[in-house]
Amino acid sequence: MANTVQTKAAVRPVDTQQPRATIARRQKSPYPFWFMIPAGVIYTVLFLVPAAVAFYFSLTRWTLFDQEFIGLDNYVQFFEEPALVSGLTHTLIFAVVTCGLKVVIGMALAVLLTSQIIGRAFLRSVAFFPVLVSTIGVGIAFTVLMNPTRGAINGALGVVGVQGPGWLTDPQWALLSVAFVDVWRGVGLATVIYMAGILSIPQEYFEAAKVDGAGSGQSFWHIVLPLAKPATVTVLILSLIGGLRSFDLIWAMTKGGPGFTSDVIASVIYKQYQAGFYGLSTAGNVILFLLVTGIVVPLFWWFNRKGVEA
Protein backbone atom coordinates (compact mmCIF):
# COMPACT_ATOMS: atom_id res chain seq x y z
CA MET A 1 0.00 0.00 0.00
CA ALA A 2 2.63 2.49 1.05
CA ASN A 3 4.64 1.42 -1.93
CA THR A 4 1.92 2.20 -4.41
CA VAL A 5 1.22 5.59 -2.96
CA GLN A 6 4.88 6.38 -3.34
CA THR A 7 4.77 5.25 -6.94
CA LYS A 8 1.91 7.50 -7.67
CA ALA A 9 3.67 10.46 -6.14
CA ALA A 10 6.72 9.72 -8.20
CA VAL A 11 4.79 9.44 -11.42
CA ARG A 12 3.57 12.99 -11.34
CA PRO A 13 6.82 14.80 -12.14
CA VAL A 14 7.45 12.64 -15.19
CA ASP A 15 5.34 14.88 -17.29
CA THR A 16 6.79 18.17 -16.16
CA GLN A 17 10.35 17.89 -14.90
CA GLN A 18 13.06 16.55 -17.10
CA PRO A 19 15.84 15.74 -14.57
CA ARG A 20 13.65 13.69 -12.29
CA ALA A 21 11.95 11.96 -15.17
CA THR A 22 14.71 9.42 -15.64
CA ILE A 23 14.63 8.49 -11.96
CA ALA A 24 10.90 8.26 -11.92
CA ARG A 25 10.81 6.16 -15.06
CA ARG A 26 12.72 3.43 -13.30
CA GLN A 27 9.81 3.26 -10.89
CA LYS A 28 6.81 1.54 -12.37
CA SER A 29 4.52 3.81 -14.31
CA PRO A 30 0.90 2.73 -14.41
CA TYR A 31 1.13 3.32 -18.15
CA PRO A 32 4.10 1.19 -19.14
CA PHE A 33 5.58 1.55 -22.60
CA TRP A 34 5.72 -2.22 -23.02
CA PHE A 35 1.96 -2.12 -23.57
CA MET A 36 2.78 -0.83 -27.03
CA ILE A 37 5.38 -3.46 -27.83
CA PRO A 38 3.19 -6.35 -29.13
CA ALA A 39 1.23 -4.09 -31.47
CA GLY A 40 4.37 -2.15 -32.34
CA VAL A 41 6.27 -5.29 -33.33
CA ILE A 42 3.49 -6.62 -35.57
CA TYR A 43 2.92 -3.22 -37.16
CA THR A 44 6.61 -2.56 -37.71
CA VAL A 45 7.49 -5.98 -39.07
CA LEU A 46 4.51 -6.44 -41.38
CA PHE A 47 3.71 -2.87 -42.37
CA LEU A 48 6.51 -0.35 -41.78
CA VAL A 49 9.46 -2.54 -42.74
CA PRO A 50 7.89 -3.70 -46.04
CA ALA A 51 6.97 -0.10 -46.85
CA ALA A 52 10.55 0.99 -46.23
CA VAL A 53 12.35 -1.84 -48.04
CA ALA A 54 10.00 -1.39 -51.00
CA PHE A 55 12.09 1.63 -51.97
CA TYR A 56 15.20 -0.52 -52.23
CA PHE A 57 13.58 -3.53 -53.94
CA SER A 58 11.95 -1.31 -56.54
CA LEU A 59 15.50 -0.65 -57.76
CA THR A 60 16.27 -4.32 -58.33
CA ARG A 61 15.46 -7.17 -60.62
CA TRP A 62 14.05 -9.45 -58.01
CA THR A 63 12.83 -13.04 -57.68
CA LEU A 64 12.42 -13.10 -53.86
CA PHE A 65 15.49 -15.33 -53.57
CA ASP A 66 17.82 -13.40 -55.74
CA GLN A 67 18.12 -9.72 -56.44
CA GLU A 68 20.20 -7.66 -58.77
CA PHE A 69 20.53 -3.91 -58.45
CA ILE A 70 19.46 -2.24 -61.67
CA GLY A 71 18.97 1.37 -60.58
CA LEU A 72 15.95 3.15 -61.94
CA ASP A 73 15.30 0.68 -64.78
CA ASN A 74 11.96 -0.46 -63.31
CA TYR A 75 10.73 3.10 -63.15
CA VAL A 76 11.96 3.81 -66.67
CA GLN A 77 10.11 0.74 -67.87
CA PHE A 78 6.99 1.74 -65.97
CA PHE A 79 6.88 5.16 -67.58
CA GLU A 80 7.89 4.00 -71.04
CA GLU A 81 5.41 1.18 -71.50
CA PRO A 82 2.05 2.70 -72.44
CA ALA A 83 0.14 -0.18 -70.83
CA LEU A 84 1.77 0.58 -67.48
CA VAL A 85 1.80 4.35 -67.49
CA SER A 86 -1.84 4.48 -68.53
CA GLY A 87 -2.53 2.76 -65.19
CA LEU A 88 -1.38 5.98 -63.56
CA THR A 89 -3.85 8.18 -65.45
CA HIS A 90 -6.64 5.63 -64.96
CA THR A 91 -5.99 5.64 -61.23
CA LEU A 92 -6.31 9.41 -61.15
CA ILE A 93 -9.46 9.41 -63.28
CA PHE A 94 -11.03 6.66 -61.19
CA ALA A 95 -10.21 8.43 -57.92
CA VAL A 96 -11.41 11.85 -59.07
CA VAL A 97 -14.65 10.53 -60.59
CA THR A 98 -15.60 8.35 -57.63
CA CYS A 99 -14.59 10.99 -55.11
CA GLY A 100 -16.46 13.78 -56.88
CA LEU A 101 -19.63 11.75 -57.31
CA LYS A 102 -19.54 10.53 -53.71
CA VAL A 103 -19.22 14.08 -52.42
CA VAL A 104 -22.07 15.42 -54.55
CA ILE A 105 -24.46 12.47 -54.34
CA GLY A 106 -23.63 11.79 -50.70
CA MET A 107 -24.46 15.39 -49.85
CA ALA A 108 -27.70 15.28 -51.84
CA LEU A 109 -28.85 12.04 -50.24
CA ALA A 110 -27.94 13.34 -46.79
CA VAL A 111 -30.01 16.50 -47.29
CA LEU A 112 -32.87 14.35 -48.53
CA LEU A 113 -32.62 11.93 -45.62
CA THR A 114 -32.49 14.67 -43.00
CA SER A 115 -35.54 16.44 -44.43
CA GLN A 116 -39.14 15.74 -43.49
CA ILE A 117 -39.86 12.61 -45.46
CA ILE A 118 -41.47 9.34 -44.51
CA GLY A 119 -39.40 6.22 -43.93
CA ARG A 120 -36.10 7.97 -43.33
CA ALA A 121 -34.65 5.21 -41.15
CA PHE A 122 -35.50 2.59 -43.75
CA LEU A 123 -34.02 4.59 -46.62
CA ARG A 124 -30.87 5.22 -44.61
CA SER A 125 -30.37 1.50 -44.06
CA VAL A 126 -31.07 0.78 -47.71
CA ALA A 127 -28.47 3.25 -48.90
CA PHE A 128 -25.90 2.13 -46.36
CA PHE A 129 -26.17 -1.63 -46.75
CA PRO A 130 -24.07 -1.97 -49.95
CA VAL A 131 -21.10 -0.67 -47.95
CA LEU A 132 -21.10 -3.94 -46.03
CA VAL A 133 -21.54 -6.36 -48.91
CA SER A 134 -18.66 -8.27 -50.43
CA THR A 135 -17.01 -6.13 -53.10
CA ILE A 136 -16.40 -9.17 -55.27
CA GLY A 137 -20.07 -10.15 -55.00
CA VAL A 138 -21.17 -6.66 -56.01
CA GLY A 139 -18.70 -6.72 -58.87
CA ILE A 140 -19.98 -10.04 -60.22
CA ALA A 141 -23.62 -9.00 -59.91
CA PHE A 142 -23.03 -5.76 -61.80
CA THR A 143 -20.90 -7.45 -64.43
CA VAL A 144 -23.99 -9.50 -65.29
CA LEU A 145 -26.35 -6.53 -65.02
CA MET A 146 -24.09 -4.49 -67.30
CA ASN A 147 -23.89 -7.12 -70.02
CA PRO A 148 -24.27 -5.14 -73.25
CA THR A 149 -26.86 -7.34 -74.94
CA ARG A 150 -28.56 -9.41 -72.26
CA GLY A 151 -27.97 -7.32 -69.13
CA ALA A 152 -30.91 -5.85 -67.23
CA ILE A 153 -29.53 -2.30 -67.32
CA ASN A 154 -29.44 -2.06 -71.10
CA GLY A 155 -32.73 -3.97 -71.19
CA ALA A 156 -34.35 -1.29 -69.07
CA LEU A 157 -32.75 1.48 -71.14
CA GLY A 158 -34.03 -0.22 -74.27
CA VAL A 159 -37.58 -0.05 -72.95
CA VAL A 160 -37.38 3.74 -72.79
CA GLY A 161 -35.72 3.81 -76.19
CA VAL A 162 -32.12 4.44 -75.22
CA GLN A 163 -29.37 2.33 -76.72
CA GLY A 164 -27.12 1.63 -73.72
CA PRO A 165 -23.36 1.41 -74.29
CA GLY A 166 -21.29 -1.73 -73.81
CA TRP A 167 -20.59 -0.74 -70.25
CA LEU A 168 -17.70 -3.07 -69.58
CA THR A 169 -16.76 -4.05 -73.12
CA ASP A 170 -16.43 -0.59 -74.64
CA PRO A 171 -12.93 0.76 -73.90
CA GLN A 172 -14.33 4.25 -73.47
CA TRP A 173 -16.81 3.15 -70.83
CA ALA A 174 -15.14 0.33 -68.90
CA LEU A 175 -13.28 2.44 -66.34
CA LEU A 176 -16.24 4.77 -65.82
CA SER A 177 -18.66 1.86 -65.43
CA VAL A 178 -16.53 0.38 -62.67
CA ALA A 179 -16.35 3.84 -61.10
CA PHE A 180 -20.16 4.08 -61.14
CA VAL A 181 -20.44 0.74 -59.36
CA ASP A 182 -17.87 1.90 -56.82
CA VAL A 183 -19.99 4.98 -56.18
CA TRP A 184 -23.10 2.81 -55.82
CA ARG A 185 -21.26 0.72 -53.27
CA GLY A 186 -19.63 3.54 -51.30
CA VAL A 187 -22.06 6.43 -51.41
CA GLY A 188 -23.88 5.12 -48.32
CA LEU A 189 -20.81 5.81 -46.21
CA ALA A 190 -20.53 9.35 -47.59
CA THR A 191 -24.22 9.83 -46.85
CA VAL A 192 -24.02 8.83 -43.20
CA ILE A 193 -20.97 11.02 -42.69
CA TYR A 194 -22.82 13.98 -44.21
CA MET A 195 -25.92 13.19 -42.18
CA ALA A 196 -23.91 13.28 -38.98
CA GLY A 197 -22.52 16.63 -40.11
CA ILE A 198 -25.90 18.11 -40.99
CA LEU A 199 -27.57 16.87 -37.82
CA SER A 200 -24.87 18.53 -35.72
CA ILE A 201 -25.84 21.97 -37.08
CA PRO A 202 -28.01 23.72 -34.46
CA GLN A 203 -31.63 23.91 -35.55
CA GLU A 204 -31.78 27.59 -34.50
CA TYR A 205 -29.69 28.58 -37.51
CA PHE A 206 -32.35 27.29 -39.87
CA GLU A 207 -35.11 28.94 -37.87
CA ALA A 208 -33.28 32.26 -37.80
CA ALA A 209 -32.65 32.07 -41.54
CA LYS A 210 -36.31 31.35 -42.12
CA VAL A 211 -37.37 34.33 -40.05
CA ASP A 212 -35.06 36.45 -42.17
CA GLY A 213 -36.85 35.15 -45.25
CA ALA A 214 -34.30 32.67 -46.58
CA GLY A 215 -35.63 29.91 -48.79
CA SER A 216 -34.49 26.33 -48.53
CA GLY A 217 -32.00 26.88 -51.37
CA GLN A 218 -30.42 29.79 -49.56
CA SER A 219 -30.22 27.98 -46.25
CA PHE A 220 -28.51 25.11 -48.05
CA TRP A 221 -25.88 27.34 -49.65
CA HIS A 222 -25.28 29.57 -46.65
CA ILE A 223 -25.79 27.23 -43.70
CA VAL A 224 -25.51 23.55 -44.63
CA LEU A 225 -22.68 23.79 -47.13
CA PRO A 226 -20.25 25.85 -45.01
CA LEU A 227 -21.10 24.19 -41.68
CA ALA A 228 -20.87 20.65 -43.06
CA LYS A 229 -17.36 21.36 -44.31
CA PRO A 230 -15.62 18.99 -41.87
CA ALA A 231 -17.87 16.24 -43.21
CA THR A 232 -16.98 17.20 -46.77
CA VAL A 233 -13.29 17.05 -45.93
CA THR A 234 -13.71 13.59 -44.40
CA VAL A 235 -15.69 12.25 -47.35
CA LEU A 236 -13.26 13.78 -49.81
CA ILE A 237 -10.16 12.37 -48.16
CA LEU A 238 -11.62 8.94 -47.39
CA SER A 239 -12.89 8.46 -50.91
CA LEU A 240 -9.70 9.77 -52.48
CA ILE A 241 -7.63 7.29 -50.49
CA GLY A 242 -10.08 4.52 -51.31
CA GLY A 243 -10.26 5.45 -54.97
CA LEU A 244 -6.51 5.65 -55.46
CA ARG A 245 -5.95 2.28 -53.80
CA SER A 246 -8.96 0.58 -55.35
CA PHE A 247 -8.36 -2.95 -56.61
CA ASP A 248 -11.05 -5.52 -55.68
CA LEU A 249 -13.88 -4.09 -57.70
CA ILE A 250 -11.82 -3.48 -60.83
CA TRP A 251 -10.37 -6.94 -60.62
CA ALA A 252 -13.78 -8.56 -60.15
CA MET A 253 -15.38 -6.66 -63.02
CA THR A 254 -12.87 -6.12 -65.83
CA LYS A 255 -9.44 -7.38 -64.71
CA GLY A 256 -8.12 -4.16 -66.22
CA GLY A 257 -9.64 -4.82 -69.62
CA PRO A 258 -10.69 -4.52 -72.34
CA GLY A 259 -7.03 -4.31 -73.26
CA PHE A 260 -5.51 -2.13 -70.57
CA THR A 261 -8.24 0.47 -70.63
CA SER A 262 -9.36 0.02 -67.03
CA ASP A 263 -6.02 -0.95 -65.51
CA VAL A 264 -5.12 1.04 -62.41
CA ILE A 265 -1.84 0.98 -60.51
CA ALA A 266 -3.15 -1.53 -57.98
CA SER A 267 -4.08 -3.97 -60.74
CA VAL A 268 -0.76 -3.39 -62.50
CA ILE A 269 0.97 -4.30 -59.24
CA TYR A 270 -0.98 -7.56 -59.10
CA LYS A 271 -0.40 -8.41 -62.77
CA GLN A 272 3.35 -7.82 -62.53
CA TYR A 273 3.46 -9.84 -59.33
CA GLN A 274 1.66 -12.73 -61.03
CA ALA A 275 4.02 -12.51 -63.98
CA GLY A 276 6.98 -12.76 -61.61
CA PHE A 277 8.32 -9.23 -62.13
CA TYR A 278 8.64 -8.52 -58.43
CA GLY A 279 10.91 -5.52 -58.83
CA LEU A 280 8.56 -3.90 -61.32
CA SER A 281 5.56 -4.74 -59.15
CA THR A 282 7.26 -3.10 -56.18
CA ALA A 283 8.11 -0.04 -58.27
CA GLY A 284 4.37 0.21 -58.97
CA ASN A 285 3.80 0.05 -55.24
CA VAL A 286 6.26 2.86 -54.59
CA ILE A 287 4.61 4.98 -57.30
CA LEU A 288 1.20 4.35 -55.74
CA PHE A 289 2.63 5.24 -52.35
CA LEU A 290 4.05 8.52 -53.67
CA LEU A 291 0.82 9.29 -55.51
CA VAL A 292 -1.40 8.74 -52.47
CA THR A 293 0.79 10.64 -50.04
CA GLY A 294 1.51 13.34 -52.62
CA ILE A 295 -2.20 14.03 -53.02
CA VAL A 296 -3.69 13.24 -49.63
CA VAL A 297 -1.13 14.71 -47.23
CA PRO A 298 -1.01 18.23 -48.78
CA LEU A 299 -4.79 18.21 -49.08
CA PHE A 300 -5.16 17.22 -45.44
CA TRP A 301 -2.68 19.86 -44.35
CA TRP A 302 -4.35 22.52 -46.49
CA PHE A 303 -7.82 21.79 -45.13
CA ASN A 304 -6.56 21.81 -41.56
CA ARG A 305 -4.81 25.12 -42.03
CA LYS A 306 -7.93 26.62 -43.57
CA GLY A 307 -9.90 25.33 -40.63
CA VAL A 308 -7.64 27.19 -38.21
CA GLU A 309 -7.97 30.45 -40.11
CA ALA A 310 -11.76 30.32 -40.19
Partner 1 sequence: MTSRRPNYLLSAIALALFSVIFLLPFAFILFTAAMNQEEAATFRFSWPDNWQLIQNVKDVFRTRDYILVVAFINSTILTVASVAVMVILAAMVAFVLQRRKSRWNVPINILMLAGLIIPPAVVPTIWVMQELGIFKTMHGLILVEIAFGLSFCVLLFQAFISTIPRQLDEAAIVDGAGPLGLFFRIIFPLLRPVIVTVVVVQTVFVWNDFTNPLYFLPGDENATVQLTLFNFQSQYNTSYNLLFADILLITIPPLLLFLFFQRQIVSGLTAGSVKG
Closer CB to partner 1, 163 or 203, in the complex:
203
Residue 263 C-beta: closest distance to partner 1, Å: 16
Closer CB to partner 1, 74 or 86, in the complex:
74
Which span (74-82, 94-102, 160-168, 267-275) binds partner 1, by CB under 8 A?
Answer: 267-275
Residues 51-90 binding partner 1 (CB under 8 A) are 51, 53-54, 57, 62, 64
Cis peptide before 298 (omega within 30 of 0): no
Closer CB to partner 1, 15 or 80, in the complex:
15
Which span (68-76, 80-88, 169-177, 266-274) binds partner 1, by CB under 8 A?
Answer: 266-274
Please check whether residue 227 is in contact with residue 201, taking contact to mean a CB–CB distance below 8 angstroms. Answer: yes
Closer CB to partner 1, 7 or 77, in the complex:
7
Compute how many other C-beta atoms are within 10 angstroms of the C-beta atom of residue 32.
10
Contact residue for partner 1 among 23, 83, 133, 275 (CB under 8 A): 133
Which span (73-81, 165-173, 246-254, 256-264) binds partner 1, by CB under 8 A?
Answer: 246-254
Cα separation, 142 vs 178, in Å, equals 9
Cα separation, 221 vs 219, in Å, equals 6
Closer CB to partner 1, 81 or 248, in the complex:
248
Output b/e per residue, 112-134; b: 16+ Cβ within 10 A. Answer: ebbeeeeeeeeebeebeebeeee
Contact residue for partner 1 among 23, 45, 72, 162 (CB under 8 A): 45
Closer CB to partner 1, 83 or 140, in the complex:
140
Residues 174-203 binding partner 1 (CB under 8 A) are 184, 189, 192-193, 196-197, 200, 203
Residue 15 C-beta: closest distance to partner 1, Å: 6
**H-only helix segments in 65-215:** 73-80, 82-114, 120-128, 135-145, 152-159, 174-199, 203-211
Cα separation, 106 vs 198, in Å, equals 12
Spatial CA neighbour of 165 closest among 302, 258, 272: 258
Which span (73-81, 95-103, 149-157, 171-179) binds partner 1, by CB under 8 A?
Answer: 149-157
Distance (Å) of CA 290 to CA 55, 77, 144, 244, 283: 11, 17, 35, 11, 11
| The residue type at 243 | G
Closer CB to partner 1, 60 or 86, in the complex:
60
Residues 103-122 binding partner 1 (CB under 8 A) are 111-112, 114-119
Spatial CA neighbour of 235 closest among 291, 293, 264, 196: 196
